[in-house]
Amino acid sequence: MKLRITGDGGLSRKLSAILVSVAMLISGTALAGDNSIYINQSGSNSNISVTQDGAANTVEGIQGTGTSNTTPAVINGSNNNVTVSQIGTNNILQFGINTSTVNGVANGNNYIYNVVGNNATAIINSNASGSGASGSNNVHVNQYGDDANLNLTLLGNQNNFTATTAAAGAGYAYNSVVASINGSSNTDTVAMTGGTTNTFNLIQGDTNTSTSNATVTVNSNGQGNSFNLIQSGGNNGDNITIGGYSSNTTNPTAILGGSSNSITVAQSGANDNTFVLGLTGNTNTFNVTQTATAGNNIANIQSSGSGNTWSILQHNH
């Protein structure tokens, strides 16, 4: 089943109603087929809900003549609430979020993506127009299944990103989160549970656009997980917490549990980089590099297990 939907600011309520009807139709009558929804929505204050139940579900954009099916679904405007739920295997979500919300304004957009099933792929690009004014968005991704992949790009200040991935069984999960984030005062939270060989790769800031006041929190259990976290900080420094630690107790408040995990952290910037790790397990390897040109580098580590390998390098210039 393929559905094509367009909307504008004056038709936002109608579009929302259509989408709800679409969700009901798909979940009720098209359980076994490939469900496709093409979306191009312009306007603000819209509530959009899409539910697909079946195999190889797809949410993407309006296709032009002669183009391949790679155009992202586009949501234009501010203060929109968008929820996409997919059930089944081989699901695909492609979102291009274009918003003119000024950095720091509280009326950003809220995006929730829920997927249950194996081999799901989600591509979310906030502010695909590249204007640099995509601020105060909330992106929440919940994946339950094996071999799920999320590729996220965020551009702007005061964005919140949360990803929760969970393996469906006790075997290999191979869930993957890749995030590229530019802007200041952004908050990233990733939880990866179950299975083995989950990966989280984060690049926050770059040589052209540094990020300040960025906070990253990672919680995971399982074996063979890999985390590569790189932050290019600005004047106010950045924070990374894996597991967690409380200064009032010798025990971490949350645990990175499992063996043979690999952690690579690199933080740079002018002031006050902080890295916190709570780790339980054997033969884990972590490499930490912190460089602050004018401030402090702080590493707070609680580790329990045998055969772990530490490499910590701190620079203060």
Q: pLDDT tens across 244-261, in order?
A: 655 555 555 566 777 888
Rg, C-alpha atoms of the chain: 21
CA dist., res. 253 & res. 160, Å (int): 22
Quote the percentage of the chain above a pLDDT of 90.
17
Query: Considering only 23-32, 132-141, 187-196, 241-250, which range has the smallest mean pLDDT?
Result: 23-32
Structure tokens at 3: 């559905």
Residue 300 lies in a domain: no
Which pLDDT band, with edges at 50, 70 and 90, does 23 fall under?
Answer: very low
Residue 291 lies in a domain: no
Residue 29 in this model has a pLDDT that exceeds 50: no
Selected residue with higher pLDDT from 142 and 157: 142
Which pLDDT band, with edges at 50, 70 and 90, does 264 fall under?
Answer: very high
Residue 199 in this model has a pLDDT that exceeds 70: yes
CA dist., res. 38 & res. 218, Å (int): 34
Residue 309 lies in a domain: no
The H or E element spanning position 310 is strand 309-316
Rounded to 10 degrees, the C-alpha dihedral 252/258/264/270 comes to: -10
Q: Where would I find the H helices in the chain?
A: 12-29
Residue 41 pLDDT: 81
CB 178 within 8 A of CB 145: no
Q: What is the mean pLDDT of residues 50-64?
A: 82
Q: What is the mean pLDDT of residues 189-199?
A: 82
Total domain count, the chain? 1
Q: What is the mean pLDDT of the chain?
A: 76
**281: alpha, beta or left, given left = phi > 0 and alpha = psi -120 to 50?**
left
- C-alpha distances (whole Å) from 282 to each of 109, 259, 303, 304, 308 are 42, 5, 10, 8, 6
Q: What is the mean pLDDT of residues 97-111?
A: 67
Residue 6 in this model has a pLDDT that exceeds 60: no
Residue 281 lies in a domain: no
Which pLDDT band, with edges at 50, 70 and 90, does 17 fall under?
Answer: very low
Nearest CA-CA partner of 136 in 105, 113, 163: 105
Residue 290 in this model has a pLDDT that exceeds 70: yes
Name 300's bridge partners.
276
Selected residue with higher pLDDT from 269 and 242: 242
Residue 198 in this model has a pLDDT that exceeds 80: yes
Three-state DSSP at 281 gives coil
CA dist., res. 155 & res. 140, Å (int): 16
**153: alpha, beta or left, given left = phi > 0 and alpha = psi -120 to 50?**
beta
Residue 112 pLDDT: 94
Residue 212 lies in a domain: yes
Residue type, position 123, single letter? I
Residue 66 pLDDT: 41
Structure tokens at 142: 């919940």
Residue 60 pLDDT: 83
Residue 110 lies in a domain: yes
Residue 316 pLDDT: 78
DSSP string, 174-222: --EEEEEEESSS-EEEEEEESSB--EEEEEE--SSS-B-SEEEEEEEBS
Selected residue with higher pLDDT from 53 and 128: 53
Residue 114 pLDDT: 94
Q: What is the mean pLDDT of residues 269-290?
A: 84
Which pLDDT band, with edges at 50, 70 and 90, does 7 fall under?
Answer: low
| pLDDT, tens digit (0-9, with 9 covering 90-100), for 60-87 | 876 544 444 457 788 877 888 999 999 9
Residue 289 lies in a domain: no
Selected residue with higher pLDDT from 4 and 124: 124
Q: What is the mean pLDDT of residues 158-177?
A: 81
Three-state DSSP at 268 gives strand
- 64-75 per-residue burial string, b: 16 or more CB within 10 A, e: under 16: eeeeeeebbbbb
Output the pTM of the full model: 0.81
Strands 149-155 and 121-126, sheet pairing = parallel
CA dist., res. 254 & res. 149, Å (int): 25
Structure tokens at 29: 């009558």
Domain that holds residue 164: 2-236+244-260
Residue 152 lies in a domain: yes
**Planar angle of CA 236, 181, 173, nearest 5 degrees:** 125
**207: alpha, beta or left, given left = phi > 0 and alpha = psi -120 to 50?**
alpha
